[in-house]
Amino acid sequence: MSGHNRLLTHSEWSARAATHRDRMNALVGPYFAERRAGVAHPVVDFLFTYYAARPAQVTRWHPGFGVSLERARRYTGLRGYIVDDDGTATVSQEHLESRIDLLDATLAITQATAGRAPRFGCFGLHEWAMVYRSDANRHPHPLRLGAVETDAVVERSGLRCTHFDAFRFFTDPARPRNAMDLTRADAVANEQPGCLHATMDLYRYCLRLSPLIGSDLLGDCFELALTARELDMRASPYDLTGVLDMTGRPYEPVPIETAEGRAQYAAEQTVVAERGAVLRESVIARCDDLRKRCRGASPMEQPGRYNICAG
């Protein structure tokens, strides 16, 4: 069954699986405990609810396509796997080929994003635009500055969002204030690597392509998505007093309504973008390699059959 796949012994892959599980638990173990108790977390929840991920999808280790696992009956029944009579598990060629549209769509948006210069002038105002002139908040936390001053910050600052999946949650009065009118159809044309959400979406792409893409790369993208999400909410209009991060420390706000806060945001955003650029190239390289392994695959065309940006 394994063909030309590289074989990992039971002891080899078990050790790697344990290391990955321990890594994820070190990053968000307290969140897993709170989730089991039914407690929501305004920062970390997003990485599971918005991206429709279960904790097991993040903590379970996958080797990626092209690697077989000795004595791995626990992978029986998992999507994409075949397990032979002696318990050797591998991701099937048939599963790879069933995901070619998704590979094409992922390559299209990641390559387009990688080819653009990053922009750092948004200052995280998408969260502010989501409550602009609205009586309803998206989170059960008060606004740091109150509704009137929150609206005033939006009006003074201007909106320069390039990410449709943030723009679509803007309030009706906020959308015309954005520098461009975004649609899902032009998401590939507008995505740029300075955007926190473009970086967080690398985690989305790895999730959707799992188990073809191995958990080591998914773990790297998840860790960076967590960093980006924390900055996202620290720069938001919400007062997170009393909310603790995964190390037990309070989230310190990034007050983007001030010049100092905007400078801090841009500096942290730049670090995230630089790390994201490296991981984006890894995702591109892996997707390109996977596509080449599809039997009879034609040259990649602009994707129209699969929308990678669908939330």
What are the Cα distances from residue 101, in Å, to 93, 97, 282? 15, 9, 19
Task: Report whether 7 contacts 88 (CB < 8 A).
Answer: yes
Task: Enter the pTM of the model.
Answer: 0.93
Strands 81-83 and 89-91: antiparallel
Q: Distance between CA atoms of 152 and 162, rounded to whole angstroms? A: 21
Sign of torsion over alpha carbons 232, 235, 239, 245: positive
What is the rounded distance in angstroms from the CA atom of residue 174 to the CA atom of residue 144?
19
Q: Strand order of the sheet with strand 6-8?
A: 6-8, 67-69, 89-91, 81-83
Report the 10 Å Cβ neighbour count for 213. 24
Could you give the residue ranges of the DSSP H alpha helices within 37-169?
46-49, 55-59, 93-98, 100-114, 126-129, 146-157, 164-167
∠ Cα 102 124 162 (to 5°):
45
pLDDT by 10s per residue, the chain, length 311: 444 789 999 999 999 999 999 999 999 999 999 999 999 999 999 999 999 999 999 999 999 999 999 999 999 999 999 999 999 999 999 999 999 999 999 999 999 999 999 999 999 999 999 999 998 888 889 999 999 999 999 999 999 999 999 999 999 999 999 999 999 999 999 999 999 999 999 999 999 999 999 999 999 999 999 999 999 999 999 999 999 999 999 999 999 999 999 999 999 999 999 999 999 999 999 999 999 999 766 665 544 344 554 44
Chain CA centroid to CA 285, Å = 18
pLDDT of the residue at 39: 94
Q: Do you know the residue count of the chain? A: 311
